[in-house]
Amino acid sequence: MESVARLSSLLETARDLTLEAARDAAVPRKFATRALPPQQIKKLLDSRNERDILDGLRRVVAMRYASPPQPTLPFFPAVLKTLSTPYPSTRPLVYNYLVHHAEQDPDTALLAINTIQKSLSDPNPAIRAMALKTMSAIRVPVISQIVSLAIKKGVSDLSPLVRKAAALACVKCVRLDPNTRPLVEEALATLLADKQYFVVGAAVQAFAEICPTRLDLIHPVYRRLCKMVVDMDEWGQLAVLHLMTTYARNCFPQRTQKVKRAQTREQQSRDFYEDLEDKQEEYDDAPYLDPDLDLFLISIQPLLQSRNSAVIVSVARAYLYLAPPTHIHHIIGPLIALLRSPQDIQQIALYNIVQVCLQKPELFTPHLRHFLIHATEASSIWRLKLEVLTLLFPHSSKDNQDLILAELDHFSRGQDMELVRESVRAIGRCAQSSSAQTSRRCLSLLLKQVHSPDETLVGEAIEVVRHLIQRAPDEHRKTVVRLAKNLDTLTSSTARASIIWLVGEFAGFEPEDNIAADVLRILVKKYADETNEVKAQIVLLAAKVYLHHLNNTSEARKALQGTDEPTTEDPDESPVTLLYQHTMLLARYTPSYDLRDRARLFRALLANPSSTELASLLLLAPKPVPQAPSPSEARKIFTLGSASLVVGEGLREDEGIPDWSESEEESESGEEEESEYETDSEEDEKAGLVK
Amino acid sequence: MSAIDALYIFDEHNALLFDHTYTNRPPSPSVLLPLYLQQPSPRPSLIYLPSFTPPILCYSIIQDNILFLSPCSSSAEPLLVLEFLHRVADALQEFLGSPLMATKITSSYDIIAQIAAEIADAGIVCQSEANALRDVVETGSGVLKNLLDSIGASASSPALSISGGAGSSSIPAALRSQLQPAQSSQGSAVPWRRSNVRHTSNELYVDFVESLFVTLAPSGRALSAFAHGSIMFNCKVSGVPDLVLNLMTDGKGAGMGTKGEQLQRVMERVVFHPCVRLNRWKSDGSLSFVPPDGKFALCGYEVDLLGPDAPLTVSNPRAKSTSGLDLPVSIDVSTGLGTNGADFEVRITQPVRSLATASLQSNLGPQGRSKPGQSGRPQQPVEDITIHVPIPPNVRNVSDLRPSKGEAHWNPATSMVEWHVLEKDVGPSGVALRCTVQGKPAEEDEEFTAGGVMNGVTATTYDYDDDVQTGDTSRLGNQASSAEINGSSADSQRQRLERNRELMPTSATLSFSLKGSLPSGLRVESLAVDNKRSRGLGADIKPYKGVKYLTVSRKGIEMRC
Over its length of 561 residues, how does chain B's per-residue pLDDT go in tens digits?
568 899 999 988 888 989 888 887 888 888 999 999 998 878 888 898 888 888 888 999 998 889 999 998 887 788 999 999 999 998 898 888 878 888 888 888 888 988 998 898 888 888 888 888 887 887 765 444 434 433 433 333 333 333 333 333 333 434 434 444 443 445 567 788 887 788 888 889 999 999 999 988 888 788 888 999 999 989 888 888 889 999 888 765 555 667 778 888 888 889 999 899 988 888 888 899 999 988 889 999 988 887 654 333 333 333 333 445 677 888 888 888 877 788 888 888 887 654 344 333 333 333 334 333 333 345 677 888 899 998 888 888 888 888 888 888 888 888 888 999 888 877 777 888 888 888 776 544 444 443 333 333 333 333 333 443 444 444 444 444 444 445 566 777 777 777 787 788 888 999 988 888 888 888 888 888 888 888 877 777 788 889 999 999 888 888 887
Residues of B whose CB is below 8 A from A198: 191
Instruction: Name the architecture of domain B6-177.
Output: 2-Layer Sandwich (3.30)
Strand partners, B63: B66
Total Cβ atoms within 10 A of residue A82:
22
Mean pLDDT of A660-666: 60
Q: DSSP states of B210-268 as a string? A: EEEEEEE-TTS-EEEEEEEEEEEEEEE-SSB--EEEEEE-SSTTTTSS-HHHHHHHHSE
- Tell me how far apart the alpha carbons of residues B330 and A34 are, in angstroms, rounded to a whole number: 55
Strand partners, B296: B233
| Portions of chain B given CATH number 3.30.450.60 | 6-177
Interface touch A235/B126, C-beta < 8 Å: yes
Q: Which among B54, B55, B84, B52 has a CA at the least distance from the CA of B68? A: B84
Total Cβ atoms within 10 A of residue B203:
15
Q: Which among B142, B11, B72, B10 has a CA at the least distance from the CA of A61? A: B142
Identify whether B441 is preceded by a cis peptide bond (ω within 30 of 0). Answer: no
For the CA atoms of A50, A56, A62, A66, what is the dihedral angle to 10 degrees? 170
Distance from CA of A450 to the nearest CA of B (A): 9
- Tell me how far apart the alpha carbons of residues B560 and A164 are, in angstroms, rounded to a whole number: 55
Write the CB contacts of A623 (distance below 8 Å, at least 6 apart in sequence).
Answer: A470, A505
- Tell me how far apart the alpha carbons of residues A176 and A102 are, in angstroms, rounded to a whole number: 13
Residues of A whose CB is below 8 A from B3: 209
Q: What share of chain A is helix, strand, coil (3-state, %, to 5)?
A: 75, 0, 25
The helix-helix angle for A160-176 and A197-210 (nearest 10°) equals 10
Interface touch A125/B187, C-beta < 8 Å: yes
Nearest CA in chain B to A370: B224
- Tell me how far apart the alpha carbons of residues B57 and B49 are, in angstroms, rounded to a whole number: 6
Helix (H) / strand (E) containing A619: helix A613-619
SS (H, E, C) B351-392: CCCCHHHHCCCCCCCCCCCCCCCCCCCCCCCEEEEEEEEECC
Write the CB contacts of A665 (distance below 8 Å, at least 6 apart in sequence).
Answer: none
Distance from CA of A156 to the nearest CA of B (A): 16
Mean pLDDT of A634-662: 78
Q: DSSP states of B477-516 as a string? A: HHHHHHHHHH-HHHHHHHHHHHHHHTTS-SEEEEEEEEES
Nearest CA in chain B to A26: B103
Residue to mutate among B48, B81, B121, with most A CBs inside 10 A, is: B121
Interface touch B224/A372, C-beta < 8 Å: yes
Q: DSSP states of A142-167 as a string? A: GGHHHHHHHHHHHHT-SSHHHHHHHH
Q: pLDDT by residue (tens digit) across A512-568?
A: 677 888 888 888 888 888 888 889 999 999 998 888 888 888 888 777 776 555 445
Strand partners, A685: none
Residues of A whose CB is below 8 A from B75: 642-644, 651-654
Homologous superfamily (CATH) for B330-440+504-509: Mu homology domain, subdomain B (2.60.40.1170)
Please determine, for residue A90, whether its predicted confidence score (pLDDT) is greater than 50: yes
Report pTM: 0.82
Could you tell me the end-to-end alpha-carbon distance of chain A, in angstroms, rounded to an integer? Answer: 30
Residue to mutate among A17, A82, A89, A329, with most B CBs inside 10 A, is: A89
Interface touch B278/A233, C-beta < 8 Å: no
Closest residue to A344, CB basis, from B45, B101, B274: B45
Residues of A whose CB is below 8 A from B296: 4
What does the longest C-alpha to C-alpha distance in chain B come to?
Answer: 100
Looking only at the bridges linking them, the beta strands covering A255-258 and B268-272 are unpaired
Nearest CA in chain A to B301: A337
Residue to mutate among B63, B79, B506, with most A CBs inside 10 A, is: B79
Interface touch B232/A11, C-beta < 8 Å: yes
- Tell me how far apart the alpha carbons of residues B520 and B312 are, in angstroms, rounded to a whole number: 10
Asked if ipTM goes beyond 0.90, one says no
Could you tell me the end-to-end alpha-carbon distance of chain B, in angstroms, rounded to an integer? Answer: 49
CB pairs under 8 A between A and B: 370
Helix (H) / strand (E) containing A115: helix A106-119
Q: DSSP states of B174-218 as a string? A: HHHHTT--SS-SS--SSTTS-SS---SS-EEEEEEEEEEEEEE-T
> Are A29 and B109 contacting, i.e. CB atoms less than 8 angstroms apart?
no
- Tell me how far apart the alpha carbons of residues B421 and B402 are, in angstroms, rounded to a whole number: 13
Residue to mutate among B271, B301, B309, B463, with most A CBs inside 10 A, is: B271
| Degrees, nearest 5: CA angle A516-A521-A525 | 140
Closest residue to A653, CB basis, from B74, B187, B506: B74
Please determine, for residue A590, whether its predicted confidence score (pLDDT) is greater than 60: yes
Neighbour-count burial of B460, counting CB atoms closer than 10 A to its CB (0-12 exposed, 13-18 middle, 19+ buried): middle
Backbone angles phi, psi at B359, to 5 degrees: -75, 0
| Residue A663 binned pLDDT confidence (cut-offs 50, 70, 90) | low
- Tell me how far apart the alpha carbons of residues B501 and B494 are, in angstroms, rounded to a whole number: 11
Strand partners, B8: B19, B69
Q: pLDDT by residue (tens digit) across A422-477?
A: 888 888 888 877 777 778 888 888 887 777 777 777 887 888 888 888 877 777 77
- Tell me how far apart the alpha carbons of residues B29 and A642 are, in angstroms, rounded to a whole number: 25
- Residue count of chain A: 691
Interface touch A310/B295, C-beta < 8 Å: no
- Tell me how far apart the alpha carbons of residues A13 and A25 are, in angstroms, rounded to a whole number: 19
pLDDT at site A653: 64
Instruction: Give whole-number Cα distances, A159 to A120, A653, A685, in Å.
Output: 12, 35, 20
Closest residue to A7, CB basis, from B55, B135, B230: B230
Q: pLDDT by residue (tens digit) across A154-189?
A: 999 888 889 999 999 999 999 888 888 998 999 999
Higher pLDDT, residue B253 or A366: A366
- Point out the least confidently predicted range of A123-127, A197-201, B220-224: B220-224
- Tell me how far apart the alpha carbons of residues A99 and B23 are, in angstroms, rounded to a whole number: 12
Interface touch A485/B473, C-beta < 8 Å: yes
pLDDT at site B2: 67
**Amino acid present at A324:** P
Distance from CA of A404 to the nearest CA of B (A): 11
Backbone angles phi, psi at A177, to 5 degrees: -150, 100
Distance from CA of A600 to the nearest CA of B (A): 32
pLDDT at site B252: 56
Write the CB contacts of B24 (distance below 8 Å, at least 6 apart in sequence).
Answer: B3, B5, B73, B123
Helix (H) / strand (E) containing A97: helix A91-101
pLDDT at site B460: 33
Looking only at the bridges linking them, the beta strands covering B203-216 and B544-560 are parallel
Instruction: Give whole-number Cα distances, B28 to B24, B32, B78, in Å.
Output: 12, 6, 21
Interface touch A3/B297, C-beta < 8 Å: yes
- Tell me how far apart the alpha carbons of residues B511 and A339 are, in angstroms, rounded to a whole number: 20
3-state secondary structure of A523: helix
pLDDT at site B498: 76
For the CA atoms of B313, B315, B317, B320, what is the dihedral angle to 10 degrees? 30
- Tell me how far apart the alpha carbons of residues B552 and B512 are, in angstroms, rounded to a whole number: 6
pLDDT at site A163: 93
| Residue A313 binned pLDDT confidence (cut-offs 50, 70, 90) | very high
| Portions of chain B given CATH number 2.60.40.1170 | 203-324+511-560, 330-440+504-509
Residues of B whose CB is below 8 A from A20: 97, 99
| Degrees, nearest 5: CA angle B82-A218-A670 | 135
- Tell me how far apart the alpha carbons of residues A417 and A422 are, in angstroms, rounded to a whole number: 9
pLDDT at site B268: 85
Helix (H) / strand (E) containing B47: strand B46-49
Distance from CA of A607 to the nearest CA of B (A): 32
Closest residue to B16, CB basis, from A67, A130, A641: A67
Nearest CA in chain B to A205: B124
Please determine, for residue A315, whether its predicted confidence score (pLDDT) is greater than 90: yes
Residues of B whose CB is below 8 A from A19: none
SS (H, E, C) A340-409: HCCHHHHHHHHHHHHHHHHHCHHHHHHHHHHHCCCCCCCHHHHHHHHHHHHHHHHHCCHHHHHHHHHHHH
Nearest CA in chain A to B394: A415
SS (H, E, C) B533-558: CCECCCCCCCCEEEEEEEEEEEEEEE
Taking the domain B203-324+511-560, which CATH number applies? Answer: 2.60.40.1170
Residues of B whose CB is below 8 A from A242: 1-2, 77
Q: pLDDT over 70 for what percent of chain A?
A: 84
3-state secondary structure of A415: coil
- Tell me how far apart the alpha carbons of residues A436 and A591 are, in angstroms, rounded to a whole number: 44
pLDDT at site A437: 76
Residues of A whose CB is below 8 A from B507: 375
Looking only at the bridges linking them, the beta strands covering B222-236 and B294-304 are antiparallel
- Tell me how far apart the alpha carbons of residues B215 and B212 are, in angstroms, rounded to a whole number: 10
- Tell me how far apart the alpha carbons of residues B307 and B313 are, in angstroms, rounded to a whole number: 9
Instruction: Give whole-number Cα distances, B404 to A305, B348, B391, B420, B435, in Å.
Output: 48, 11, 20, 11, 11
Residues of B whose CB is below 8 A from A370: 224, 226
